[in-house]
Amino acid sequence: MDACLATLDLSRIASDAGLYVSGGGDSFLILVLYVDDITIFGSDLDEVLKLKRALATNFEMTDLGETTTYLGLEVSRNRANKTLNPLPITLHHRCSSPLRNGRLQRGYPLLSLLVPTQSLRRHR
């Protein structure tokens, strides 16, 4: 995958093995690779489509359309402002059912009696 993306002028970011970028200034492409999912962001729709076609010639792919969730976070798109915003974290459909069944959907935070600078040691 890394070699293929390099031939498409995408460079991997040193601090994140799954993040690739291309371009600079006003024109850019960002490709996020997580296990078997790819999310592509770009400033030019034609360049995004060109990248998707190039990837499809090298890999078996299914286009799932625009991103609505990413790693359990819902994503909101504002086309007028050209922004993507993660929505506040809510109970995702994967965890809401077990929480409901366990009657934990109305969890309340508990006050900790530990002092933040306190060191703990094993009792003998």
Residues 61-91 pLDDT 10s = 998 888 887 777 777 777 787 776 655 545 4
For the whole model, what pTM was predicted? Answer: 0.63
Tell me if residue 63 falls in helix, strand or coil: coil
Phi, psi of 43 (to 5 degrees): -85, -15
pLDDT given at position 50: 93
> If you ran DSSP here, which 8-state letter would residue 103 be given?
T
Q: The tokens of 27 are what?
A: 């024109």
Alpha carbons 25 and 58: distance in angstroms, whole number: 28
Alpha carbons 124 and 121: distance in angstroms, whole number: 9
